[in-house]
Amino acid sequence: MSDELPEPPATVDRARSFGPVAAAYDRGRPSYPVEAVAWLTGGEAKVVLELGAGTGKLTRQLVDQGHAVFATEPDEAMLEVLRERVPEVSAKIATAEDIPANDRSVDVVVVAQAFHWFDHEVALAEIARILKPGGHLALVWNSRDERIPWVRKMGDILGRQDLDTSSSEHLVHSDLFGFMEEATFKHWQEVNRESILDLARSRSSFAAMDDGQRERHLADVLAFYDAYGRGMDGMQIPYVTRCYRAVVTDRDERAPSDGDEPSQEGPVVSDGTDTDMLLIDFR
């Protein structure tokens, strides 16, 4: 038997490929509609853990809506931007497959633009472990509205990875969660001749290009902007924010599987003010 560890899934490597473009990601990616954020969390203030939090595009809004928020992100460069953007949030380097949280310790787990990177079988079990009874998992993606012809042309250049929300089907088929609800919200992102380049640089595919490919790609983006933008007035990109959520099933009602071990529950806090720690290693 080999002593070597198995290679991580390719999605893990790509999920950590944003570090070199973290600043561009923060400048170029759109935010989320206020109504969508409220729907994801269920409205009233809760203890929220955001997985794959990136540079804090959603984290800032979760805090502003009154939630006690904790964040994890596997890429140090992305997390550094988040800590600058949302300094009041406890944030830690961690993956969705190994969450540094106690059993039944959070009300809501939120994932924005990142669920497709996860090892879903492992991550969903971890998420179910840390959710309180009645808690839920919420997923969200911003997708450009390509029903509009010029937006489709933009997709031809930038790529369409963010239009694919099919990984949400893993939640549908998991016996760890109940019925999956869906909701969509519309909003616009204003970009100019500089920020559209940041939008292009923020793609994982851009990080994989060589210097010559990047130069040609950015030239194509500028040519598109010059053809469809409005000069100093910029460009408004239409987005559809696609949201999904499902309540964790009661673990006492699940059929035990082979190898299941008794749960080791840690301290639980509801508002972040107790002396007990909500998240192990969050200091």
Tell me, what's the pLDDT at 64? 95
Q: Please report the pLDDT score of residue 277 as a whole number.
A: 42
Buried b (16+ CB within 10 A) or exposed e, 224-247: bbeeebeeeebbebbbbbbbbbbb
Residues 249 and 259 sit within 8 Å (Cβ to Cβ): no
Distances (CA, A) of 256 to 123, 176, 253: 18, 12, 9
Q: What is the pLDDT along the chain (283 residues), one digit of tens a residue?
A: 333 323 334 444 544 445 557 777 788 889 999 999 999 999 788 999 999 999 999 999 999 999 999 999 999 999 999 999 999 999 999 999 999 999 999 999 999 999 999 999 999 999 999 999 999 999 999 999 999 999 999 999 998 877 789 999 999 999 999 999 999 999 999 999 889 998 888 877 777 788 899 999 999 999 999 999 876 678 999 999 999 999 999 877 655 544 454 443 433 333 443 333 445 444 3
72, 52 in Cβ contact below 8 A?
yes
pLDDT at 160: 83
Q: What is the pLDDT of residue 254?
A: 59
As given in the structure block, the two tokens for residue 45 are 């203030």
CA 69 vs CA 9, 60, 156: distances in Å: 28, 9, 37
Q: How far apart are CA 2 and CA 73, in angstroms?
A: 30
Domains delineated in the chain: 10-144+162-187+238-250 (3.40.50.150)
pLDDT value for 269: 36
Beta strands in 113-202 (DSSP E): 131-144, 181-191
The residue whose two tokens read 């570090």 is 19
Phi and psi dihedrals of 137, rounded to 5?
-100, 135
Q: In what order do the strands lie in the sheet with 106-112?
A: 90-93, 68-73, 47-51, 106-112, 131-144, 235-247, 181-191
pLDDT value at residue 152: 94
pTM over 0.85: no
Q: CA 248, CA 77: separation in Å to the nearest integer?
A: 32
Residue type, 118: F
